[in-house]
Chain A
Amino acid sequence: DQQVKQNSPSLSVQEGRISILNCDYTNSMFDYFLWYKKYPAEGPTFLISISSIKDKNEDGRFTVFLNKSAKHLSLHIVPSQPGDSAVYFCAASAGGNKLVFGAGTILRVKS
């Protein structure tokens, strides 16, 4: 099931700089997109979401951009902090209910 893809397994960023995590999807029925952060041995923690009727949503240091024509979304973290180091999952749903997850991107923020 490759409906949600995160093509970068890992990303390394210097503290204070911008982190950009990318996600692509194939199912045009997806209408809600979410980003989760996960530490080892913990459950996914909800970060930010966006509905398909919007193209941007911002919450503090986190901004999600949605490009429906390209079926692409991205998460921007500015400024990046060492505590942001974790695995970031993109997820999508169609009409609510089940989430389809990407494989995740490991973010390392170096101090």
Chain B
Amino acid sequence: EPEVTQTPSHQVTQMGQEVILRCVPISNHLYFYWYRQILGQKVEFLVSFYNNEISEKSEIFDDQFSVERPDGSNFTLKIRSTKLEDSAMYFCASSSGEDEQFFGPGTRLTVL
């Protein structure tokens, strides 16, 4: 069964450093998303991406964040200068249309 994959599973970084979280969405999906879950809090929407551009973003997704689909398979989330409060689980998701979104296993980001 096709699934969304994410790498790395755990990323530890120093405050102020750049990180890139990688995702491989399900191959025939056209819509891509990033969500995050800070420990003990809800899963929060960050950004959606369709047709090679951002279709919606939340208030969390400020200028420190960017997304890219550099080739036909990868979808990346970059945080330019990490802050302590960026520590969270980051989930990538994809969908074929405006319906069910399928999530990856997540990347645990720890900012020290």
Measuring CB to CB, which residues of chain A are less than 8 angstroms from any residue of chain B?
Answer: 1, 32, 34, 36, 41-46, 49, 89, 91, 93, 95-104
**Interchain Cβ contacts within 8 Å, total number:** 57
Contacts of B6 in A (CB 8 A): 43
Residue of A nearest to B103 (CB): A43
Q: Are B48 and A44 in contact (CB-based, < 8 A)?
A: no
Known A97-B98, A99-B101; contact A89-B43, beta-carbon cutoff 8 A: yes
Does B85 lie at the interface of the complex (its beta carbon under 8 Å from any beta carbon of A)? no
Contacts of A91 in B (CB 8 A): 43
Q: Are B106 and A98 in contact (CB-based, < 8 A)?
A: no
Type the 1/0 row for B90-106, where 1 means its CB is closer than 8 Å to any CB of A. Answer: 01010001111111111
Does B75 lie at the interface of the complex (its beta carbon under 8 Å from any beta carbon of A)? no
Size band of the B side of the interface?
20 to 34
Q: Are B102 and A46 in contact (CB-based, < 8 A)?
A: yes
Residue of A nearest to B104 (CB): A43
Give me the 4 closest cross-chain CB pairs, A-B, nearest first.
A96-B98, A43-B103, A98-B45, A101-B43
Q: Are A42 and B105 in contact (CB-based, < 8 A)?
A: yes
The contact of B48 among A98, A100, A103, by CB within 8 Å, is A98
Q: Are B43 and A44 in contact (CB-based, < 8 A)?
A: yes
Q: Are A43 and B98 in contact (CB-based, < 8 A)?
A: no
25 contacts between A and B (CB under 8 A): A1-B42, A36-B103, A41-B105, A43-B4, A43-B104, A43-B106, A44-B43, A44-B91, A44-B103, A46-B101, A46-B102, A49-B100, A89-B43, A91-B43, A93-B98, A95-B98, A96-B97, A96-B98, A97-B55, A97-B56, A98-B33, A98-B56, A99-B33, A101-B42, A101-B43
